[in-house]
Structure 1
């Protein structure tokens, strides 16, 4: 098994969101502190006759002759596979693939992982270009699992303008999926999350063929009167209570302040799906206490000085390779869904909005050198995060002001683009949105450079090597 993602995912239904869009989002956290990522548009393909072979585990798949265009965030180093992770395709379907989840040893004893089965390096590449709805995303992935098996446990999010589906593949062949209700949200942190499955409601639940028989045959259900996927297939360990459950606690504490009263960071039975107590904005998902959070305003904040600051694993980490928010919109039937990208450390760096209906991405995001280069968006954001964290108390206010300023600018820009795009169709619309993406990339890059050099200059005055001197010397 390869080095796994250790991520945090959030889904927000269209009636729970402030703007009526469906949202799926995730921090892609890796084992290494630095793992350069690119943001690409992969073009449509027709008449292809090609077989995919994973560089990581040699899983082999005959590819369909036609592939839709899609956005993706592949790893720069392709020796362990493309690891494209997430994106939005030209059918206006979004997906985020590799929320690592872990099954217990009881179920793995009877259905172990398949070494050369479907793994996180290949999921986006083999699924996203071929699906036309969120539901089809689950069905298509399920067919691949039945054919190839799974090399590991993964949670996957699929969204279109109507639906959000969350799928958990937990053993070599067993999986379930649930439709997130329109007026709800869900948070999952590297732990089997889906609870009760209603096998009489196929409109809102899907599952692997034979999963009920598998559980019954091997006597795997610990409950007397329910079929709870988390209880049957998941784990509840000391590691879960320090590494996983606190992230759910923190997100629900903000998004459901009344319903979550009394919950504690180490609670193992927090609900997966919750009703939103207020309409959730994009800024709530990214900026206020969710993907950017590090247990702010609690004793568990690693940037604080309380004795408990290292007790739990926070949401935003220094080893986040990238974070994304996929905002699936269908305004007036033209496609202007937005792939928000954050590179660097989410706590310190902005989310940049790119329209998914585009033919390419800006060179600042497309071209990523192996070593640090401030002409690359990835490396510039990593450098800014390092400077801010090094003088956190002195620089955090300016960094937060910078992020707020860019969020305000993004809202105005998107509203302007929406107005202009309403009269455009087909390739003219795609060309226009592609050009706007380049403008957006340039604006964010210039503003980020300005702050980076400002803080770097100020940091020279904060050196511990300084000494108060006689002005005459």
Structure 2
């Protein structure tokens, strides 16, 4: 993510992070041949220097034949746009933050998806010879320029290269781009030096804030592109580092490996291909691409972006590890997982999963890339807390949950995991309907995916409000209690109808004083509002189960304990 331009803020972040860099963001790539559903996956967490950092989700409309427009950055950079620009989605900062738009993750009408950026630094020697250019291209606008003007990943690489060579870059960045045909990674090493690599369809990658392109063959122009003097400049300045007889770009141009970034790169490798990576070593040049142990789903990518080194000696919950820079850091603002699918129509080529707040205790909500508008809560502007805004609705839950991860947070994680898995399954039928509608009339498909986005977002925001109220009451009710009187950890309320539908149960209820009966084949659950017992029959065997709390009715909705829903 971004460098901080305001000195006072930079000093505050330095104090917060100690000696580590103020850079942020972790990226994940999954090639289509090794993903669970054949989609190319681009994913990234956007992390800030402060936890309260409002984000929005917007659609930028296509503009036909209006010359003279520009995309402008706050530090003076201005890029002239063509008369016609393309429709795209973006996840920008609120303008009041004052550091530029930061479009973040974009999908456009021609089937191009991209995410940017993961910030990275060159070695001091590289920056001295080819310093960054003040007033040059920054992360703040680069994704928007590409989404508005390019139709393919390779065209996006060429566009970025031409801008950097003309205007210079103000910072080191890594960008990933994909469509239904191919995917590319683009690295900006200094003011004018860059390289790009075609990403293999049979590999995965996870990396923190460090350059990652490894050994290259300069003659392989099918899979690599680079600034024309890249290798010459390295040789002349004696930077060139060889691995197995080939130039290793990350080692040649990047700063030395450090735990802040390299540990995240290692952890991603350990999660997706544990047998091929050993114990963590700071100086190791972990490979950018490798074979996963098994095919990887979008849900698993979401969990990678939540990871806090669980299951290792670096687990952030263990004493002494509090200062480690984990993947699922509390300073996340928006996290996205973009699935580019070959069987979708090009204009609706991607399914983007977007989470606001911290991935650890938030939820990824799906959006097809053909949407023409976004839900009102995603448009709420401003730097101050506003409970009407989607970012604040989800972030405030994270803030409470992370006060005590085991006592408060686990219930929140369970709730959103249940929610996410159901949405993931729902999208399998939704995508088939979208494809069928598109074949009949593209306008029908656009309306369908836009309406679906509105419905999912509206419901999720309402459910988030209920979960927040539920958790806040639980926290307040236990505040000041002695340990022996705390009782069990937080178990959220979940709407009965949502739970039953997700698990395939039919609901029978004739009145408020009668039992509510859930039936799915030979399995039945019978319980009554206000009573904390439930009669269960499975495979002909009946039993009485004690519930965490009695089902309740609130504002016309019946709620049951989440742990009951998870057993259905």
TM-score exceeds 0.5: yes
Can you give the 5+ residue segments of structure 2 that lack an aligned partner in the other structure?
6-21, 486-568
- Distance in 2, matches of 1:312 and 1:183, equals 31
- Distance in 1, matches of 2:166 and 2:483, equals 68
Shift of 1:145: 0.9
Of 221, 229, 249, the residue aligned with 2:240 is: 221
Partner residue, 1:187: 206
Q: Given that residues 362 and 438 in structure 1 are in contact (C-alpha distance below 8 angstroms), is that contact kept between their aligned partners in structure 2?
A: yes
Of 294, 298, 301, the residue aligned with 1:285 is: 301
- Distance in 1, matches of 2:433 and 2:241, equals 57
- Matched ranges for 1:37-52 at <5 A: 37-52=55-70
Q: Given that residues 176 and 207 in structure 1 are in contact (C-alpha distance below 8 angstroms), is that contact kept between their aligned partners in structure 2?
A: yes
Q: Deviations over 1:254-278 (max 9, x none)?
A: 1001111x23152422111111120
The one of the two structures with greater contact order (alpha-carbon pairs below 8 A, sep at least 6) is: 1
Of 230, 233, 237, the residue aligned with 2:253 is: 233
SS of aligned partner of 2:53: coil
Q: Given that residues 300 and 311 in structure 1 are in contact (C-alpha distance below 8 angstroms), is that contact kept between their aligned partners in structure 2?
A: no
Q: Given that residues 85 and 123 in structure 1 are in contact (C-alpha distance below 8 angstroms), is that contact kept between their aligned partners in structure 2?
A: no
Distance change >3 Å, CA 265–CA 434, structure 1 → 2? farther
Shift of 1:53: 5.8
Shift of 1:428: 1.5
Task: Calculate the TM-score normalised by the size of structure 2.
Answer: 0.78
Q: Given that residues 344 and 350 in structure 2 are in contact (C-alpha distance below 8 angstroms), is that contact kept between their aligned partners in structure 1?
A: no
- Matched ranges for 1:70-469 at <5 A: 70-78=88-96, 79-223=98-242, 225-236=245-256, 240-260=257-277, 262-287=278-303, 290-302=304-316, 304-307=317-320, 309-310=321-322, 312-331=324-343, 333=345, 335-425=348-438, 426-464=442-480
Q: Deviations over 1:140-184 (max 9, x none)?
A: 111111111101100000011121111100101111111111110
SS of aligned partner of 1:26: strand
Distance change >3 Å, CA 324–CA 155, structure 1 → 2? same
Q: CA RMSD in A?
A: 1.9
SS of aligned partner of 1:258: helix
- Distance in 1, matches of 2:193 and 2:434, equals 44
Larger radius of gyration: 2
Shift of 1:131: 1.3
Q: Given that residues 46 and 66 in structure 1 are in contact (C-alpha distance below 8 angstroms), is that contact kept between their aligned partners in structure 2?
A: yes
- Distance in 1, matches of 2:100 and 2:85, equals 19
- Distance in 2, matches of 1:244 and 1:332, equals 35
Q: Given that residues 380 and 388 in structure 2 are in contact (C-alpha distance below 8 angstroms), is that contact kept between their aligned partners in structure 1?
A: no
Matched pairs, number: 461
SS of aligned partner of 1:338: strand
Q: Given that residues 299 and 306 in structure 1 are in contact (C-alpha distance below 8 angstroms), is that contact kept between their aligned partners in structure 2?
A: no
Shift of 1:419: 2.5
Can you give the 5+ residue segments of structure 1 that lack an aligned partner in the other structure?
none
Shift of 1:416: 2.4
- Distance in 1, matches of 2:106 and 2:163, equals 19
- Distance in 2, matches of 1:351 and 1:31, equals 22
Q: Given that residues 12 and 23 in structure 1 are in contact (C-alpha distance below 8 angstroms), is that contact kept between their aligned partners in structure 2?
A: yes
Q: Deviations over 1:19-66 (max 9, x none)?
A: 100011111111122210000010001112234363422012211111
- Distance in 1, matches of 2:129 and 2:161, equals 19
Higher strand share: 2
Shift of 1:234: 0.7
Partner residue, 2:564: none
Shift of 1:336: 4.6
Task: Calculate the TM-score normalised by the size of structure 1.
Answer: 0.93
Distance change >3 Å, CA 467–CA 62, structure 1 → 2? closer
- Distance in 2, matches of 1:20 and 1:300, equals 33
Q: Given that residues 241 and 265 in structure 1 are in contact (C-alpha distance below 8 angstroms), is that contact kept between their aligned partners in structure 2?
A: no
